[in-house]
Structure 1
Amino acid sequence: MIPTVDPAGPAAAPVALDARVVVRRPAFALEAEVSVAAGEVLALLGPNGAGKSTALRALAGLVPMHEGRIVLDGRDITTVPTEERPIGMVFQDYLLFRHMSALENVAFGPRCRGAGRAQARRTAAELLERMALTAHAAARPAALSGGQAQRVALARALAVEPRLLLLDEPLAALDAHTRVEVRAQLRRHLAGFDGATVIVTHDPLEAMVLADRVTVVEDGSVVQTGTPAEVARHPRTDYVARLVGLNLYRGHARGDGDVLVGPPGREARLVVAGTPQGEVFAAFPPRAVALYRAVPGGTPRNTWRVVIDGIERFGDQVRVHADGELALSADITPAALADLRLAPGDTVYAGVKAAEVSCYPA
């Protein structure tokens, strides 16, 4: 069961969306619970094929559910036809009508909901003004930049006055330079929406910047949910740990500061600060790892003999991947790499101070 909201944060508002989505296919099954407060932005984060977009489309009524429920503002819309749901959706490729102007694209939704032509165009004009697109109201999609098209698509989704806003990889179609600017604009626009928002993304930065809460989906199941800071500090799967750049291990804490991680009979000993007990996760950043050619003296409480199996440039650092008594990644400077004369296949010693290891219940 996914916890609903953190009462200390912006999600203290009433729950707007309460859903359990179950979709089964011959080689895939999705079962996820999604809870979003009014005014809250939830990001569904996960690798390709995890089931994120399937969940989003099921919420929209575009994919049939085998089981579950969709309750929006206290109303069960599970069996409500797609076109009658109070939902706005922004697709990955925006899917703007090429033969229509930006204004006509945004006015399309209100017209379908029964608004007169003049009223629909007034609504569209107001939304385009809010998106700083008034000067482009007469332009067709082919004449718009990627960022402008994304804002038109968002305006079109908002024009039907939805209570649930769904965005499927909203920045994926943009180049890297444009994405930074549009991401900031999108966050401002979402902050002014008082309904529930669900964003699907595989980009951790996008999730951390845009969302109030993050739900991680892997292999059709929810594996973690929390604020961006909580997920980044306390990952619970290898996938999340890789995203946030941590070495992560699951093990058993004996209550004396030792955590045993790894397969039975070949456990590695990991010394942590404090005296946790029971099943735990232990994590530390690659920057906390020091590498030595010989067994180190001094302060590291954790020392393992490892074999280097990969070296890659990582920003202004070098990331060294190693396996052995404990599989880990270490970030060192190019100068340290040269001094140690490291190469794949070399045997070295890795050291980590106990104070650098974060330990929390599994």
Structure 2
Amino acid sequence: MTMRAHLVVHRPAFTLDISLEVAPGEVVALLGPNGAGKTTALRALAGLTAMSGGEIVLDGHRLHTLAAEQRPIGMVFQDYLLFPHLSALDNVAFGPRCRGASKAEARRTAAALLERVGLAGHAASRPRQLSGGQAQRVALARALAVEPKLLLLDEPLAALDAHTRLEIRSQLRRHLAGFDGATVLVTHDPLDAMVLADRLIVIEHGAIVQQGTPAEVARRPRTDYVARLVGLNLYRGVADGTRVKVGELLFSSSDRLEGPVFVAFSPAAVALYRTRPDGSPRNLWQATIDGIERHGDNVRVHLDGPFAAFSDITPAALADLDLTPGQEVWASVKATETHAYPA
């Protein structure tokens, strides 16, 4: 049941042109900034958005020639779109009924799926009586009720509060692990993608800019968007052995390479000084503080200078250094914390 697709959709602002392959049992997450084309891709797969070109082949069958209701697809929408006048049981039974199952058979299927997602006790509840997490699980059960070969999820956790999201994310991962078809997930949340997906595909301006396992993408971002997503400072440079020229600065790296490279380091690796530190520390530059904000348990300092950078320091360090916006500081990163890889 491998799904292979080449999706081409012309939009006024951009053209989506991407190729996807998703294996049986695999969960692939589409990540990207707003307007990148993620939801357009999902809707094209579902048959809800007309394609300008390309094809969708699932288990050897050409889906792009079929109407949306004829495709062996289950979809969970961002706002779930449960029928407000139907119970949870009848919402889940709706798909099988549309596929020709008897009322009794459809209800048996629905009851089994509600039990599978832990909602057997809420079968008679209407959507307005369900919490956000319960509604999400009903929507997932409804998508699975048609026995799809391809499962599509559009921001399935976006409507949940932070506490509920943590619990439902874990449950959703277990449910997806039990689905033997191909799954495509759209999300803007990197944590959702890292936890739920086996592989990430990053889309910007309608094109794929990076793909790989969550660990590969997090370790070696290739665009500013991905770097911000995984919390790294990222720059382009030219390597000569362990030395990398980034603009006018020469960095020492822990990697030996030649030619165009990316250089990445964590904001936590950036040390700040009020005055130039003694000795000759490598990877040292002068910068101006552009802003200071709370970042989790630490403080994120925005630096401007030869290039923009982030430094994460403790509140105690902020007080000791007496840092304020507009102030000039020295910043440094150890060579062992500076990683280069081919561009």
Amino acid at match of 1:197: T
2-side partners of 1:261 and 1:106: how far apart? Answer: 56
Query: What TM-score, normalized to structure 2?
Result: 0.98
Q: Structure 1 98/342 Cα, relative in aligned 2: closer, same or farther at 3 Å?
A: same
Which residue is equivalent to 2:114? 128
The DSSP-based 3-state class of the residue aligned with 1:31 is strand
2-side partners of 1:220 and 1:300: how far apart? Answer: 42
The answer as to whether partners of 1:299 and 1:353 remain within 8 angstroms in 2 is no
The DSSP-based 3-state class of the residue aligned with 1:26 is coil
CA apart distance, 1:325: 2.1
Which residue is equivalent to 1:338? 319
Which residue is equivalent to 1:167? 153
Which residue is equivalent to 2:295? 314
Which residue is equivalent to 2:227? 241
1-side partners of 2:38 and 2:130: how far apart? Answer: 28
Which residue is equivalent to 2:246? 261
Q: Structure 1 60/329 Cα, relative in aligned 2: closer, same or farther at 3 Å?
A: same
Q: Deviations over 1:133-188 (max 9, x none)?
A: 11111111111111111111101000100000000000111111111111111111
Q: Deviations over 1:85-127 (max 9, x none)?
A: 0000000010011111111111110111111111111111111
Which of 124, 127, 130 does residue 144 from structure 1 map onto? Answer: 130
Percent of paired sites with the same residue: 70
Query: What TM-score, normalized to structure 1?
Result: 0.93
Which residue is equivalent to 1:86? 72
1-side partners of 2:110 and 2:21: how far apart? Answer: 30
Runs of 4+ in 1 over 2 A off after TM superposition: 297-300
The reply on whether 1:230 has 2:216 as its aligned counterpart is yes
The answer as to whether partners of 1:268 and 1:326 remain within 8 angstroms in 2 is no
Q: Deviations over 1:185-242 (max 9, x none)?
A: 1111000000000110000001001111111111111111011111111111111111
Q: Deviations over 1:43-81 (max 9, x none)?
A: 111111111000000000000000111111122211111
Amino acid at match of 2:159: A
2-side partners of 1:209 and 1:300: how far apart? Answer: 38
**Aligned positions, number:** 343
The DSSP-based 3-state class of the residue aligned with 2:218 is helix
The DSSP-based 3-state class of the residue aligned with 2:42 is helix
**Structure 1, unaligned runs of 5 or more:** 1-14
Which of 202, 206, 211 does residue 220 from structure 1 map onto? Answer: 206
The DSSP-based 3-state class of the residue aligned with 2:254 is coil
Q: Deviations over 1:258-279 (max 9, x none)?
A: 11123xxxx3222112321111
Which of 39, 50, 55 does residue 64 from structure 1 map onto? Answer: 50
**Structure 2, unaligned runs of 5 or more:** none
The reply on whether 1:49 has 2:35 as its aligned counterpart is yes
Q: Deviations over 1:270-295 (max 9, x none)?
A: 21123211111110001111111222
Which of 154, 157, 180 does residue 143 from structure 2 map onto? Answer: 157
Which residue is equivalent to 2:259? 278
Which residue is equivalent to 2:4? 18
Which residue is equivalent to 1:11? none
The DSSP-based 3-state class of the residue aligned with 1:43 is strand
Q: Deviations over 1:13-64 (max 9, x none)?
A: xx71111111102222111111111101111111111110000000000000
The answer as to whether partners of 1:124 and 1:155 remain within 8 angstroms in 2 is yes
1:95-134 to structure 2, matched below 5 A, reads 95-134=81-120
2-side partners of 1:221 and 1:168: how far apart? Answer: 19
The answer as to whether partners of 1:301 and 1:353 remain within 8 angstroms in 2 is yes
Which residue is equivalent to 1:3? none
Q: Structure 1 77/320 Cα, relative in aligned 2: closer, same or farther at 3 Å?
A: same
Amino acid at match of 1:230: E
2-side partners of 1:233 and 1:46: how far apart? Answer: 17
